[in-house]
Amino acid sequence: AQKVTQAQTEISVVEKEDVTLDCVYETRDTTYYLFWYKQPPSGELVFLIRRNSFDEQNEISGRYSWNFQKSTSSFNFTITASQVVDSAVYFCALSRGNAGNMLTFGGGTRLMVKP
């Protein structure tokens, strides 16, 4: 069985602070994918990133960066110099390596960025 745990249910920061959202996963598969999605107040899930289990390179996209560590089964997400528009619920998700496999989501972390 697959499981994703986001231990931080809610984080509050002041604008321009850096913030890291934690994600720990469990799977018995050797091939799998990890994802992050953003859900702003409007409700629509926005795809941010997908990584496969064989690629442990960290990735940076603008103010966003992701740290994938297989040894600790973690896929953490850092926002640098946070902005009010970053306020949303962020979900980490896991899928098996096979085609068409459903996403298993964590419970989400609500990020509030205050001006």
Partner 1 sequence: GAGVSQTPSNKVTEKGKYVELRCDPISGHTALYWYRQSLGQGPEFLIYFQGTGAADDSGLPNDRFFAVRPEGSVSTLKIQRTERGDSAVYLCASSLTSFDEQFFGPGTRLTVL
Q: How many residues bind partner 1 (CB under 8 A)?
A: 22
* Binding flag, residue 108, partner 1 (CB under 8 A): yes
* Binding flag, residue 37, partner 1 (CB under 8 A): yes
Give CA–CA dist 110/115, Å, rounded: 16
Report helix, strand or coil for 52: strand
Q: Which two tokens stand for residue 88?
A: 């949303």
For the chain, the C-alpha Rg in angstroms (whole number) is 14
* Binding flag, residue 112, partner 1 (CB under 8 A): no
Interface residue list for partner 1 (CB under 8 A): 4, 35, 37, 42-47, 50, 91, 93, 99-108
